[in-house]
Structure 1
Amino acid sequence: MVIEMRTTNKIFILIGLLVFIFGIGGYLGFKQIRKTTYPRVNGVPTIYLHGWGASGQSTNSMIMYAQKYAHAQKVLTVVVPKKGQPYVKGEWTTGVARPLIQIVFKDNKESNYQLTSGWLKKVMVLLKTRYHVNRFNAVAHSMGNLTLMYYELNYGRNKKLPQLRKEVNLAGHFDGIIGIDDKPNRNSLLKNGKPRFINKYYRYQLAQRHSFPANQVAILNIFGNMEDGSNSDGDVTRVSARSLKYLLRGQYKSYHEIEIKGPNAQHSKLHENNRVNKIINDFLWD
């Protein structure tokens, strides 16, 4: 009986030691995970937003060019599901002066910009709470432009969220897309810069334009003209893209637009065009 009690006590002591050892190990491991996952980082990140039906593939060329020629570094890919919270791939460590963040929407064919701007807000909340981001730059292609615009109109003045500083609009369809609500050479800009024909999205943006952060954002607007008679990049007309200036008149800190001409100015080729890549880099980091 005494031997059995001694044996039982030894078993309990051994179990207690194991629980203590694993508990300490788990605690230290948890601290290490928190330290690795939530660093306090430096540098103003630049986010890249793809267009309709696209993925990270469509922004890879711009990111790789920035890494090669502008000493930038891709630190994260943020994947945004249709429902639920965004999740992160990669590691953003301290000391990266020009961090790049690629954003990928799993539902890449959503044209409800109130919804997609809400998805982008979730990304901004994540960057703010996890990485202490206060400011950011953005490069948007095609429909990514409307997601960014609606985000700024809806949430851009919320000082609890990261504040936009530089914005690159590439092939932005602010007032229509060919084949959907626009036609080649149908629209034109009036003397004051306002487009003659206005679609529902542009009408909404006009009504909310004063919600865009005032005198804060430097804008570079790049659009294509294939010089095939359509005055467009095949999907977005010059008028639709250039309507951005009238839309944000008096709101932006600075505005500059550049027209790319020729076959490589086609809508999907613009984000593969090294002349465009250099212009973007010079604007963001020169």
Structure 2
Amino acid sequence: MIWLIVIGGGALIAFALDLYSLGHPDKQRKVAVADHIPTLFVPGYFGTRYTFGHMLRRLPVDKQVVAIVRRNGAVHLRGRLAFGPHVAVQVLFVDKQIRPQQQFAGLTNVIAALQQQAAFPAINLVSHSMGGITALLYTVSRPKVPVATLISLAAPYNDREVAKNGKIFNWPLGPAGPTQTAPIYDFFQAHAQDLPKTLRWLNVAGDLFNGSQHDGAVGVNSALAIRYLAQNRVARYAEVVIRGPRAAHSLLHENRLVDADVATFLWPLHETAG
């Protein structure tokens, strides 16, 4: 009985330490590469510190700042930008049911707050699910701090509902675009000319590979529909489809194949060694 208590207590302590560390900056540098473009990690609807917390541990980055966006849009920064390595900023929203426009406003406030700590010429954005909508809203807003590299994981670019889970839209993709479009796609189509010509974009979709052609929440065709707006407008647009059980919507950010794709796209191999 005592050993069960000891094991249970140890597991509880390990869980508590993991929970704490996922929401706080790294204390030690993991890489020593000069990099003056911070990479912000943006979760989606009901996203938490777990969305990108473990991926940030696995990637060759230093999570120097955790940016917490309060319900009123105010930003609290844990940590401070020091640059030097591959700098990561984990963005967390207190309101887990926040919508894209409010998330976009919060993200803009985060970037402004970070600029108060250290000046930087551009940012990279790594996003999951609805966070991909938010990241693209920021990208096409012609911001003062532009996006250099955008990575979207399972973003519902052609869904009628981009936040809450519901019907999965998977309209076919034809030679000139999707056969049917949702309002969010129409919005981005109207603002396609605002995509930076220098943008590098990696778009990742998940397919459970059971004949459904979706990741359990977002259709492959919905995620990839944005290709028609990005191709021939940005410097580089690339797609990856992850297949199998580990391609489930909430597991994409826990997939080692995705880790490798993210790291390779953000930083060429000769830059990741530290």
- Give TM-score scaled by structure 2 length: 0.80
1:216 pairs with one of 171, 175, 198: 198
- How far apart in 2 are the matches of 1:189 and 1:263? 24
1:76 pairs with one of 62, 65, 68: 65
Alignment of 1:26-175 (within 5 A): 43-66=36-59, 70=60, 72-94=61-83, 96-111=84-99, 113-154=100-141, 157-158=142-143, 161-175=144-158
Q: Give the structure 2 partner of residue 261 of structure 1.
A: 243
- How far apart in 2 are the matches of 1:232 and 1:263? 11
- How far apart in 2 are the matches of 1:42 and 1:241? 30
- How far apart in 2 are the matches of 1:204 and 1:266? 27
* Aligned residue pair count: 233
Alignment of 1:199-210 (within 5 A): 199-210=182-193
More displaced, 252-261 or 175-184?
175-184
- Say whether the 8 Å CA contact 2:168–2:218 is kept in structure 1: no
- How far apart in 1 are the matches of 2:36 and 2:97? 32
1:190 matched to 2:174? The reply is yes
Q: Give the structure 2 partner of residue 22 of structure 1.
A: none
Identity percentage of aligned residues: 26
- How far apart in 2 are the matches of 1:184 and 1:152? 24
**How far did 1:84 drift?**
4.2
- How far apart in 2 are the matches of 1:184 and 1:212? 25
**How far did 1:201 drift?**
1.1
Q: Give the structure 2 partner of residue 233 of structure 1.
A: 215
Gaps of 5+ in 1: 1-40
**How far did 1:182 drift?**
4.7
**How far did 1:128 drift?**
2.1
- Say whether the 8 Å CA contact 1:223–1:241 is kept in structure 2: yes
What SS does the aligned partner of 1:118 have? helix
Taking a change above 3 Å as real, the CA distance of residues 150 and 65 of structure 1, as seen in their structure-2 partners, is same
Alignment of 1:4-19 (within 5 A): none
Deviation sequence 1:143-177 (CA, Å, 0-9, x none): 100111111222xx23xx22211111101110016
Deviation sequence 1:39-89 (CA, Å, 0-9, x none): xx96211110111111121101211111xxx2x211000001121421100
Bigger-Rg structure (1/2): 1
- How far apart in 1 are the matches of 2:221 and 2:245? 19
What SS does the aligned partner of 2:225 have? helix
What SS does the aligned partner of 1:129 have? helix
- How far apart in 1 are the matches of 2:167 and 2:187? 17
**How far did 1:181 drift?**
6.9
Q: Give the structure 2 partner of residue 37 of structure 1.
A: none
Greater share of residues in helix:
1
RMSD: 1.9
- How far apart in 2 are the matches of 1:82 and 1:153? 24
Q: Give the structure 2 partner of residue 275 of structure 1.
A: 257
- Give TM-score scaled by structure 1 length: 0.76
**How far did 1:250 drift?**
2.9
What SS does the aligned partner of 1:43 have? coil
- Say whether the 8 Å CA contact 1:167–1:217 is kept in structure 2: yes
Match of 1:148, as an amino acid?
A: A
